[in-house]
């Protein structure tokens, strides 16, 4: 039997792919593919349901791989810590605002005004277009024009103003951007790891049992068991089979759902050990397949029922 591709099942679990009618028919009749798809869906559910949890400090090797993958410089080679997240977030916000051209409160002025005492003012300011008077001019006489005095702006001259300090903010922003990006990456990795750990420590709520059966041994066998059908909130159904005895069976033990007259049957999987849980295909009506059967099967590759049943029982409550 050719099973569905694992990559295709992964895309189905992520709701990124719809199966063809032929693939859907195979999935409904193949317990192996159904079980693998259910396991992938559980993994996706755990990943998407990770909520607010306490972040775990990742190992330094995690930052080393991130640093290498992003091609960062040695200036940010030191692994960031969770305590740096707040500062990195502020720096990222500052860099984003500066890139958009918005003023920020953390951006100092590039040129500072001269102190008040360095700017003498006359008691009565003269009009801007008024001609200057020399010290030797006599009141009432025609004003004497004074040639404009060139301003010496060379360093150290008395006319030059105070030197302004220029801070290279762009360099600081460029140095913080990789740290902010890496802090976000570390937070994401820590959040996912913490969410998966938190989900793994939770005990899943037991699904309600909708049907049960007592499994009795058939002639030639000394065994007994029980079967129960559980239905989860999303409609998924599992049959849980427990068998004691029958250890003398050679080969494999396979679990089946049979019609009441045993003319129709569906395999749900192989029983490894005394207890097993098996997904019931979505298209199976338990009112039509109410009998749970465990058979002894030779390892010959033949998917048909061997006709040698170990235990069997009819579900009640359906």
More confident residue, 29 or 139: 29
Neighbours of 223 (CB within 10 A): 19
CB 254 within 8 A of CB 32: no
pLDDT band at 106 (very low <50, low <70, confident <90, very high): very low
Check residue 242 and give its pLDDT. Answer: 95
Confidence label for 89 from pLDDT (cuts 50, 70 and 90): low
- The full 3-state SS of the chain, as one line of letters, equals CCCCCHHHHHHHHCCCCCCCHHHHHHHHHCHHHHHHHHHHHHHHHHHHCCCCCCCCCCCHHHHHHHHHHHCCCHHHCCCCCHHHHHHHHHHHHHHHHHHCCCCCCCCCCCCCCCCHHHCCCCCCCCCCCCCCCCCCCCCCCCCCCCCCCCCCCCCCCCCCCCCCCCCCHHHHHHHHHHHHHHHHHHHHHHHHHHHHHHHHHCCCCCCCEEEEEEEEECCCCCEEEEEEEEECCCCCEEEEEEEEECCCCCCEEEEEEECCCCCCEEEEEECCCCEEEEECCCCCCCCCCCEEEEEEECCCCCCCCCCCEEEEEECECC
What pLDDT score does 316 carry? 93
Least trusted range by pLDDT, from 75-84, 147-156, 190-199, 256-265: 147-156
Return the pLDDT at 131.
Answer: 47
pLDDT, tens only, 234-281: 899 999 999 998 766 677 899 999 999 999 999 999 998 899 999 999
> Where is mean pLDDT largest: 6-15, 120-129, 130-139, 180-189?
6-15
pLDDT band for 118, please (50, 70, 90 cuts).
Answer: very low
Query: Over 70: is that where the pLDDT of 100 sits?
Result: no
Domain spans of the chain, in order of start: 6-48, 60-100+170-201, 209-314
Structure confidence by residue, pLDDT tens digits, 182-214: 655 656 666 666 666 656 555 556 789 999 999
pLDDT at residue 54 tops 70:
no
| Residue 6 pLDDT | 85
Q: Mean pLDDT for the chain?
A: 74
For the domain made up of 209-314, the CATH class stated in words is: mainly beta
CA–CA gap between residue 313 and residue 64 (Å, rounded) = 59
The pTM of the full predicted model, rounded to 2 decimals, is 0.39
pLDDT at residue 223, rounded to an integer: 92
Distance CA 269, CA 277 (A): 9
Whether residue 289 has pLDDT greater than 70: yes
| pLDDT for res 93 | 55
**Residue 31 pLDDT more than 50?**
yes
**Interatomic CA distance for residues 33 and 181, integer angstroms:** 40
**What pLDDT sits at residue 314?**
96
9/18 Cα distance (integer angstroms): 10
State the pLDDT at residue 138: 45
Q: Does residue 157 surpass a pLDDT of 80? A: no
48 vs 12: which has the higher pLDDT = 12
């Amino acid at each position: 039997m050719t099973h569905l591709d694992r990559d295709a099942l992964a895309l189905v679990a992520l709701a990124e792919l719809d199966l063809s009618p032929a693939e859907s028919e195979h999935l409904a009749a193949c317990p192996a593919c159904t079980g693998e798809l259910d396991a992938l869906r559980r993994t996706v559910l755990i990943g998407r349901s990770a909520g607010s949890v306490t972040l775990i400090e990742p190992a330094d090797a995690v930052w080393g791989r991130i640093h290498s993958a992003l091609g960062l410089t040695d200036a940010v080679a030191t692994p960031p810590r969770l305590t740096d997240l707040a500062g990195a977030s502020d720096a990222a916000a500052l860099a984003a605002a500066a890139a958009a051209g918005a003023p920020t409160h953390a951006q100092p002025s590039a040129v500072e005004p001269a102190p008040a005492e360095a700017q003498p003012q006359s008691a009565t300011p003269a009009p801007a277009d008024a001609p200057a008077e020399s010290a030797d001019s006599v009141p009432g006489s025609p004003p004497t024009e004074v040639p404009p005095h060139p301003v010496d702006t060379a360093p150290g001259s008395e006319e030059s103003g105070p030197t302004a300090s220029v801070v290279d903010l762009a360099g600081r922003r460029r140095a913080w951007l990789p740290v902010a990006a890496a802090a976000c990456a570390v937070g994401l990795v820590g959040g996912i790891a913490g969410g998966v750990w938190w989900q793994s420590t939770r005990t899943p709520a037991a699904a309600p049992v909708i049907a049960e059966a007592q499994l009795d041994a058939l002639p030639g066998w000394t065994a007994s068991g029980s079967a129960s059908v559980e239905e989860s909130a999303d409609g998924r159904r599992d049959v849980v089979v427990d068998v004691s005895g029958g250890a003398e069976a050679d080969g494999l033990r396979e679990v089946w759902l049979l019609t009441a007259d045993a003319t129709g049957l569906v395999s749900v999987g192989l029983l490894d050990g005394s207890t097993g849980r098996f997904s019931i295909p979505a298209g199976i009506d338990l009112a039509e397949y109410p009998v749970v059967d465990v058979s002894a099967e030779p390892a010959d590759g033949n998917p048909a029922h061997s006709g040698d049943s170990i235990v069997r029982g009819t579900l009640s409550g359906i």
